[in-house]
């Protein structure tokens, strides 16, 4: 059943212009996906709602857009060069490589907290083979950063990396923001941006990919105030998930055990979501202490402390990090919204998207495409409404039933039809609700207000 739902969501995403396989005409490239017109709109709505809640609506947040390629010493100081790795095992015959934790998970074994040696021993004890049925070699660590070279030469001195996360770009700009804006503690630096990880086994559509987008905040606090700020962000993240329309019954908060947390974290909550392929991490919230600022201060020989106006002391702030994956949010929204029901005696597929994230808010139809007077009036109304509701669509392709079904699959909350009564009797237009199929006559004068109230 889960595979069936995922296949339907993936098919709908392609059919309706949400998400395409990357480089598809050349056979694709595993772990890469391209967002189509409706996918871009959906993703931008999700990002804009995040930015509004966490940045624009607050006085203590500063925006940032850091470079994708950074000085490689950044990744040495952060620990990524030495320790940003996943457990890997090789098929002795084919030389294909696989994620060990994925192999174990597929067999119903939870590898959380296992060492490499324990994983390797389990592989041997259970006689686990590769997906191709061949013997497996030893478990080893594989660094997931994409390595590249900066400049004209390709030697060790020119090595750099595509960033595997957005957080470090914030930490290395901490001093710049403090010097430019003199913020009061607590304050945060937020950014939305791409990150890259050389995943050995990308899987589950856009859930685990090699190129993805993050919405992250590093929130700087006094060491003795981290707990109250941590709890505040728990509430804010719940509110954001409700805002983008997720069913909160499918959201679970996992208090991550000390043995399973990142080495810098003193507390972490994983917000997990019931995807069709299982309960998996959607977002994360971590208390990173002063690890990052202290590590970069030591490596760069720069002072990354903060003059506390209240005490007059210089302190290294501690950090609360809400980390939200854009692509995982898109996938959660799509799979949660995917709905099948029966309407007019036929099976109907639609996306029950929140109007706040729907890529098209309103669709405007002429009842008949071959009646110029209807098309002209519909076009006129379309141009007028789009000034107030920019995410609007004009659709005259096919009969009215097919248009409704197409807009249902896109997730358009409201459809407006211009018919002969609109022209002859000035009796308004027909507005159809996506979820119920109910139709209502609304006057042209009241139409924009009517639509805005429901969006």
The DSSP bridge partners found for residue 86 are 142
Report how far residue 120's alpha carbon sits from residue 294's, in angstroms, rounded to the nearest whole number.
Answer: 35
Specify the pLDDT at position 382.
97
- Contact predicate 359/411, CB 8 Å: yes
Of 136, 27, 122, which Cα lies nearest the Cα of 89?
136
Does 35 fall in a domain?
A: yes
pLDDT (0 to 100) of residue 2: 60
Q: Comparing C-alpha atoms, which of 251, 268, 256, 269 is closest to residue 329?
A: 251
| 86 within a domain of the structure (yes/no) | no
Whether 329 and 370 share a structural domain: no
- DSSP at 339: E
417-434 residue pLDDT tens:
999 998 887 789 999 999
Is 16 domain-assigned? yes
Boundary residue ending a domain (288, 318, 334): 334
Residue 165 tokens read as 């996360």
Let me know: does 374 contact 420? Beta carbons within 8 Å: yes
- Entry field: residues in the chain: 455
What's the total number of domains in the chain? 2
Indicate whether 232 and 327 sit together in one domain. Answer: yes
Please tell me whether residues 39 and 169 are part of one structural domain: yes
317, 387: one domain: no
Do residues 387 and 325 both lie within one domain?
Answer: no
Query: Does residue 192 belong to any structural domain of this protein?
Result: yes
User: What integer pLDDT is reported at residue 233 of this predicted model?
Assistant: 98
Spatial distance between the Cα atoms of 351 and 358, rounded to a whole number of angstroms: 9
Give per-residue burial for 187-203: e unless 16+ CB within 10 Å, then b.
Answer: bbbbbbbebbbbbbbbe
Q: Residue 205's pLDDT is what?
A: 96
Which of 364, 361, 362 has the alpha carbon at shortest distance from 418?
364
Which residue, 291, 319, 334, sits at the end of a domain?
A: 334
Last residue in a domain, options 334, 351, 376: 334
CA distance 42 to 357: 6
Angle of CA points 304, 307, 309, to nearest 5°: 155
- Per-residue DSSP letter, 451: H
Judge if 324 and 403 occupy the same domain.
Answer: no
Structural domain includes residue 426: yes
Distances in Å between the Cα of 89 and the Cα atoms of 109, 113, 115 are: 16, 18, 14
- Token pair for 378: 């519909």
Residues 267, 415 share a domain: no
CATH of the domain at 65: 3.30.930.10
Pairing status of strand 362-366 against strand 392-394: parallel
Residue 90: name the closest of 126, 140, 153 by CA.
140
Q: Which residue has the tokens 């050389």?
A: 198
Instruction: Assess contact for 380 and 364: CB atoms under 8 A.
Output: no
**Pair of tokens at residue 348:** 């109907």
Q: How far is 311 from 305, CA to CA, in rounded Å?
A: 14
Residue 34, in any domain of the structure: yes
Q: What percent of the chain has pLDDT over 70?
A: 99
271 shares a domain with 179: yes
Preceding peptide of 248 cis, ω within 30°: no
CB neighbours (10 Å) of residue 351?
28
Per-residue tens of pLDDT for the chain, all 455 residues: 567 999 999 999 999 999 999 999 999 999 999 999 999 999 999 999 999 999 999 999 999 999 999 999 999 999 888 777 778 888 898 888 888 888 888 888 888 778 888 888 888 888 898 888 899 998 888 778 899 999 988 888 898 999 999 999 999 999 999 999 999 999 999 999 999 998 887 889 999 999 999 999 999 999 999 999 999 999 999 999 999 999 999 999 999 998 888 888 999 999 999 999 999 999 999 999 999 999 999 999 999 999 987 788 899 999 999 999 999 999 999 999 999 999 988 899 999 999 999 999 999 999 999 999 999 999 999 999 999 999 999 999 999 999 999 999 999 999 999 999 988 877 899 999 999 999 999 999 999 999 999 99
State which H helix or E strand residue 217 sits in: strand 211-221
Cα distance between residue 342 and residue 43, in whole Å: 29
| Residue 1 pLDDT | 55
Residue 116 lies in a domain: no
> Which range marks the domain in which residue 65 is found?
2-70+164-334
One domain for residues 364 and 304? no
Alpha-carbon separation of residue 121 from 87, 133, 234, 260 (angstroms): 13, 18, 39, 20
Q: In the prediction, which pLDDT does 150 show?
A: 93
Q: Are residues 449 and 385 in the same domain?
A: yes
Task: Let me know if residue 259 belongs to a domain.
Answer: yes
Residues 175 and 294 in one domain: yes
DSSP state, 415?
E
User: Residue 452 has what pLDDT?
Assistant: 96
Looking at residue 393, which CATH number applies to its domain?
3.40.50.800
Specify whether the CB–CB gap between 333 and 247 falls below 8 A: no
Instruction: Please name the residues in contact with 227: beta carbons below 8 A apart, sequence gap of 6 or more.
Output: none
Judge if 207 and 252 occupy the same domain: yes
């Amino acid at each position: 059943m889960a595979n069936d739902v995922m296949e339907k969501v993936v098919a709908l995403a392609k059919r309706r212009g949400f998400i395409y396989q990357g480089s598809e005409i050349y056979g694709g490239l595993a772990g890469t996906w391209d967002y189509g017109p409706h996918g871009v709109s959906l993703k931008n709505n999700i990002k804009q709602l995040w930015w509004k809640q966490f940045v624009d609506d607050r006085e203590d947040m500063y925006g940032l857009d850091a470079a994708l390629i950074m000085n490689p010493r950044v990744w040495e100081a952060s620990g990524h060069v030495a320790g940003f790795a996943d457990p890997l095992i090789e098929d002795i015959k084919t030389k294909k490589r696989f994620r060990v934790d994925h192999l174990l998970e597929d067999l119903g074994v939870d590898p959380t907290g296992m060492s490499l040696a324990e994983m390797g021993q389990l592989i041997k004890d259970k006689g686990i083979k590769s997906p191709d049925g061949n013997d497996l070699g030893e478990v080893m660590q594989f660094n997931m950063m994409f390595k590249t070279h900066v400049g004209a030469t390709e030697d060790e001195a020119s090595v750099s990396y595509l960033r595997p996360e957005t957080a470090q770009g914030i930490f290395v700009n901490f001093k710049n923001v403090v010097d430019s804006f003199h913020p009061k503690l607590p304050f945060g630096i937020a950014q939305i941006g791409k990150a890259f990880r050389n995943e050995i086994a990308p899987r589950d559509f856009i859930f685990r990919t090699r190129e993805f987008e993050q919405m992250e905040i590093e929130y700087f606090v006094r060491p003795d105030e981290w707990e109250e700020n941590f709890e505040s962000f728990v509430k804010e993240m719940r509110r954001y998930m409700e805002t983008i329309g997720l069913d909160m019954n499918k959201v679970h908060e996992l208090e991550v055990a000390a043995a399973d947390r990142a080495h810098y974290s003193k507390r972490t909550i994983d917000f997990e979501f019931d995807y069709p392929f299982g309960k998996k991490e959607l977002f994360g919230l971590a208390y990173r202490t002063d690890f990052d600022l202290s590590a970069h201060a030591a490596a760069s020989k720069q002072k990354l402390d903060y003059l506390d106006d209240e005490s007059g002391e210089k302190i290294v702030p501690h950090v609360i990090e809400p980390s939200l994956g854009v692509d995982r949010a898109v996938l959660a929204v799509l799979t949660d919204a995917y709905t099948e029901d029966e309407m007019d005696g036929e099976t109907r597929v639609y996306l029950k998207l929140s109007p706040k994230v729907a890529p098209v808010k309103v669709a405007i139809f002429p009842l008949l495409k071959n009646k110029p007077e209807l098309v002209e009036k519909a076009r006129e109304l379309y141009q007028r409404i789009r000034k107030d509701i920019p995410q609007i669509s004009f659709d005259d392709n096919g009969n009215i039933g097919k248009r409704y079904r197409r807009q249902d699959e896109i997730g358009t909350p409201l459809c407006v039809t211009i018919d002969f009564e609109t022209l002859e009797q000035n009796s308004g237009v027909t507005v159809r609700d996506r979820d119920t199929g109910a139709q209502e006559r609304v006057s042209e004068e009241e139409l924009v207000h009517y639509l805005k109230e429901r969006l």
